[in-house]
Amino acid sequence: MFKTEELAMAVEREGIRRKLSAGEVLMTVGDTISHIPIVLSGSLRILAQNAHGQERFLYHIMPGESCAMSLNCCSGMQPSPVVAIVEEDAELVMIPARFMEEWMVYPEWRRFVSDTQNQRFNELLETIEVVAFTRLDEQLWTYLVKRAQATGEHTLKVTHQEIAQELNSPREVITRLLHQLAQRGKVKLSRGSITLVSTVA
């Protein structure tokens, strides 16, 4: 993953390998960030959550990527502001938080941290734009497409209630919009799953 030999050896020596199954919660709001997760395979889904437990999907973390929130929390000694859920079976390498600063002596690590923060910032701006300026049916379609792209599968094992929770919308509204998408031939609905016929808007 890292080309700098000394950095790659440090990651191999200090990192802790973890294998997680789809649906497992890696991190919740308020957790102390003791390790920085780097995804080796699979993907993570990141959600914002307010004090009332309402959630909002933000973005995915794919192989070779990390969580900007974790990096920021490590450097600022802050608790986690997000929820991280395993989207599909994943293997991670968990880097102890103390190495966040220690490894800044490596230019490649500095680039990795900077690129991660820039990428997540852009994704957050995209999420804000979607929420602020698009209709809920468009937000729903974007959400479904992003989850399909994250897993590489057209069939999502997800309930209407889960979608409603992560889009902060009533379940009845999500169900109605999903049926509209089905009528337009964009999805096929089954019990406990949704199949995207196409990922084109």
* Residue-level pLDDT at 50: 86
The predicted-structure confidence for 67-82, as pLDDT tens digits, reads as follows 888 888 776 667 888 9
pLDDT at residue 199 greater than cutoff 80 = no
- Domain borders along the chain are 5-132, 135-196
Q: What integer pLDDT is reported at residue 123 of this predicted model?
A: 86
pLDDT at 188 over 60: yes
pLDDT at 129 over 60: yes
Residue 134: the pLDDT is: 86
CATH number assigned to the domain with residue range 5-132, chosen from the 4 options 3.90.245.10, 2.40.37.10, 2.60.120.10, 2.60.40.10: 2.60.120.10
pLDDT tens per residue, range 6-49: 999 999 999 999 999 999 999 999 998 889 999 999 999 999 98
> Can you tell me the mean pLDDT for 153-180?
95
Domain covering 135-196 in this structure, CATH number: 1.10.10.10
What is the per-residue DSSP string for 5-71? HHHHHHHHHH-EEEEE-TT-EEE-TT-B--EEEEEEEEEEEEEEE-TT--EEEEEEE-TT-B-HHHH
* Per-residue pLDDT at 81: 87
Q: What three-state secondary structure class fits 97?
A: coil
- Percentage of the chain lying above the pLDDT 90 cut: 72
Q: State the pLDDT at residue 51.
A: 84
Confidence band for 132, pLDDT divided at 50, 70 and 90: confident
| Distance (Å, whole) CA 70 – CA 100 | 10
Instruction: Classify 150 in phi/psi space as left (phi over 0), alpha (psi -120 to 50) or beta.
Output: alpha
Same fold, 5-132 and 135-196: no
Mean pLDDT of 78-101: 93
User: Looking at per-residue confidence, does 105 or 72 come out higher?
Assistant: 105
